[in-house]
Amino acid sequence: MKSRHLLPATLTTTLVIAASAFSTPSTPSSPIYNTIQSSSSLLDPITGKELTSPILSSAAENSKKTLVVVLPQLGEFDSSEYCEFLIAAEQSLEENNIELQVVGIGDTTAAQNFCDFTGLSPERLCIDPSGSLHKELNVHCGPNFSVPDGITDDVLKFFLRQLPGGIPTDEEQVRPIATSWLNYLAMCAGIGAPGTLQEILRGYFGDKNAPERFRDDDVVKAGFITIGPGVGPTKIGPLSYQQWFADEKGYQRPVELATVRLKNMVEVLTKWDEYVSNYNAISLRGATYLFDEDGKELYSYKSRGVLTYSETMARPLSFLSPYIGEDVARNPLGLEDNGGGDLVRGRGVLKPAGKLMSFLSFLFKLENKLQAQLLGADDADYAAARKDIEDTLSSNKIVVYTYLLSPFSGETLAVLDEIGADYETVEVGLEWFLLDKEKSVLRAELLKMTGQSSLPHVFIDGKHVGGLFTGSSDGNFPGLAGLKESGELQKMVDN
């Protein structure tokens, strides 16, 4: 019998400890990572064939973090809006060793249109025509409504006939597609979709916590409507006008985001059949995952509504701040971003109201002259009023003629207070219809001198710069609020 030579126990223990010191422990990747890595439903966006390799490397082979963005339909407004931020941050992702991979529901035609429109590289995109990965990831799909059995297919066909895509040719798909639409439309109405209505309203009313969203050279055309370049010029058929917030900078202005979404909507609706190929998947939402080099989950978020692709919609990529830096993560588009600045007076609902008042200027001019005449004013009264105005202007750098009850007058003084200006206030009266003869003549003489019938009147260094939102009659000044927005007001005050 051959004898066996055993190592001493102490030596065996030493070897085991040494071996373990030089071996790399295996760190299990997250279940989500494994689900995405092993998915067989993902196709090449160009060929439409199965991928030759998984979109995620095995944890042992991976040397980068991976950002996986699972989009809903490529024809969904969320998708193009989200990708605009991702593309803008792509260089920073690469510089910080983060691989971007996007998955969207659609076919090769949808993928080509989507990449052409957004600028996303096809190398970053995989398509999931059936939404199988979405279902494996258990993404949100609405309030989970179902069509009651009592509703006939004929009724559902009438319902579908009103929607993009119409009635499916396959009779067996009528009820499933109607169910998908039912859940999607419910989400659009905010049902089973937290944050959707809030986000829709944010697009129209603006957001001081978000940077600008529309570039100065951007133009959107939707039928007979043209918006741009920039957020100001708007044309509706033969009617052209300037948006009242056009001179404001540094934050997401009213209807600015809604205009971006209009651009995306026009793209999709004019190519609907090319973008949407699977109506059964319309209600499926998206998700975002960030994995480390070992496949461990660093961040995850599942959208629960329409236009809610991020948990921080004002700054959708904020979750990337620890990895790519705050500057890019918080404002990847690089547009102006100062929360509207510290000087916020002279904005809000008074601004459009002031613009509308200008349409009534001819009536106020007639009333202005008539009121002084009815109160018995003569030439001597007008001469005295003119001298009083000239003396006041020569004695003060800034003079403001106001009505005590006018919100426009109050806001004018607030704008000047905000920048620390010293000024002289002349209260003409409580309101125009409460003026005596002397004050009526003063107001009439201001009209004669400036061509402006309404108050407040603002003079700087003897020059009439207009009112709060009304510019000077010679066109040299846009009014006090306009001067503030351009930065000229501070210069004039300091000069």
CA angle 174, 175, 177 (to 5 degrees): 70
CA distance to 397, 425, 487, per residue, from 492 (Å): 10, 18, 9
Give the model's pLDDT for residue 168: 93
Residue 362 reports pLDDT greater than 80: no
**Which residues, at least 6 apart from 447, have a Cβ–Cβ distance to it below 8 Å?**
365, 368, 369, 453
Per-residue pLDDT of 375-403, as tens digits, reads 777 888 889 989 999 999 999 999 999 99
| Beta-bridge mates of residue 436 | none
Strands annotated E in 296-423: 297-302, 398-403
Can you tell me the distance from the alpha carbon of 149 to that of 266, in angstroms, rounded to the nearest whole number? 36
Q: What is the pTM of this model?
A: 0.81
Arithmetic mean of pLDDT, 414-420: 94
Per-residue pLDDT of 434-479, as tens digits, reads 778 888 888 888 988 998 888 999 999 999 999 999 888 888 999 9
Arithmetic mean of pLDDT, 109-115: 97
Can you tell me the distance from the alpha carbon of 205 to that of 212, in angstroms, rounded to the nearest whole number? 13
Residue 364: pLDDT band (50, 70, 90) is confident
- What does residue 202 show for φ and ψ, rounded to 5 degrees? -60, -35
Using the 8-state DSSP alphabet, how is residue 50 labeled?
Answer: B
Please choose, from the candidates 119, 116, 123, 80, the residue with its C-alpha nearest in 3D space to the C-alpha of residue 100: 123
Do strands 424-429 and 398-403 pair parallel, antiparallel, or not at all (unpaired)? parallel
Residue 12: pLDDT band (50, 70, 90) is very low
Residue 357 reports pLDDT greater than 80: no
- Residue showing tokens 């300091």: 494
CA distance to 7, 8, 25, 299, per residue, from 15 (Å): 10, 11, 17, 40
Can you tell me the distance from the alpha carbon of 256 to that of 221, in angstroms, rounded to the nearest whole number? 14
**Which residues, at least 6 apart from 448, have a Cβ–Cβ distance to it below 8 Å?**
382
**Which residues, at least 6 apart from 169, have a Cβ–Cβ distance to it below 8 Å?**
none
| Core vs surface per residue 366-402: b (16+ CB within 10 A) or e | eebbebbeeeebeeebbeebbeebeeebeebbbbbbb
Per-residue pLDDT of 185-242, as tens digits, reads 999 999 999 999 999 999 999 999 999 999 999 999 988 999 999 998 999 999 998 8
- Residue showing tokens 């979404």: 261
Can you tell me the distance from the alpha carbon of 467 to that of 456, in angstroms, rounded to the nearest whole number? 5
Give the model's pLDDT for residue 11: 39
Arithmetic mean of pLDDT, 79-104: 97
- Residue showing tokens 């003119």: 386
Please choose, from the candidates 253, 251, 250, 209, the residue with its C-alpha nearest in 3D space to the C-alpha of residue 234: 253
Can you tell me the distance from the alpha carbon of 213 to that of 425, in angstroms, rounded to the nearest whole number? 39
Using the 8-state DSSP alphabet, how is residue 217 labeled?
Answer: T
Whether 458 contacts 448, CB under 8 Å = no
Residue 105 reports pLDDT greater than 50: yes
Give the model's pLDDT for residue 327: 95
Q: Which amino acid is at 171?
A: E
185-189 long-range contacts, CB within 8 A, separation 24+: 186/142, 186/143, 186/145, 187/142, 187/143, 187/283, 187/305, 187/306, 188/306
**Which residues, at least 6 apart from 474, have a Cβ–Cβ distance to it below 8 Å?**
none
**pLDDT, the chain, mean:** 89
Per-residue pLDDT of 55-83, as tens digits, reads 887 555 668 999 999 999 999 989 999 99
Arithmetic mean of pLDDT, 42-53: 92
Give the model's pLDDT for residue 1: 37
Distance of CA 20 to the CA centre of its chain: 53
Give the model's pLDDT for residue 10: 44
Residue 317 reports pLDDT greater than 50: yes
Give the model's pLDDT for residue 418: 93
Per-residue pLDDT of 122-167, as tens digits, reads 999 999 999 999 999 999 999 999 999 999 999 999 999 999 999 9
CA distance to 229, 231, 241, 445, per residue, from 235 (Å): 11, 12, 6, 38
Whether 248 contacts 230, CB under 8 Å = no
Give the model's pLDDT for residue 339: 80
Please choose, from the candidates 17, 33, 28, the residue with its C-alpha nearest in 3D space to the C-alpha of residue 290: 33
Give the model's pLDDT for residue 58: 58
Report the percent of the chain where pLDDT is more than 90. Answer: 71
